[in-house]
Amino acid sequence: MMIEADVSLGYVLGDYGDPVPIMAHPPSFISDLSLREFVQTFIEVGKSETSNFAYYALYEEEPSPQATLQGAKKGMKQDFKTIDVVEESLQILKEYEDLVTSECVGRVKKRY
């Protein structure tokens, strides 16, 4: 299972200091979720044996292992929306490299 996430440079709602990598698609430059928070949540939910809260909220019953993809490999793909956000994003991702396994280092696709 893969999650695709758009990363832009901007501000986390309520914190208008220096711009940081946020989860947003242009033209948005304000988000309630930073890249750092997104990665932390992704790792925590991925480690959890009981990460079924979304399914339970919808159906009010425990999901089957097939419904949660329990045991399935999970990954994320970042779509950096501008070149300005790449360097700081890679620094943030590097902070978490010891907490995840990686079979794909990365690929950069230039759009002209």
Residue-range domain boundaries for the chain:
2-99
Q: What percentage of the chain reaches a pLDDT higher than 70?
A: 64
DSSP string, 11-61: EETTEEEEEEEEE--TT--EES-BHHHHHHHHHHHHH-TT--HHHHHHHSS
Contact 63, 52 (CB under 8 A): yes
| Cα–Cα distance for residue pair 31/23, rounded to 1 Å | 6
Q: Which of 27-41, 42-56, 88-102 has the highest mean pLDDT?
A: 27-41
Q: What percentage of the chain reaches a pLDDT higher than 90?
A: 41
Question: In a 3-state reduction of DSSP, which class is residue 3?
Answer: strand
Chain position carrying tokens 């501008």: 82
What global pTM score does this model have?
0.72
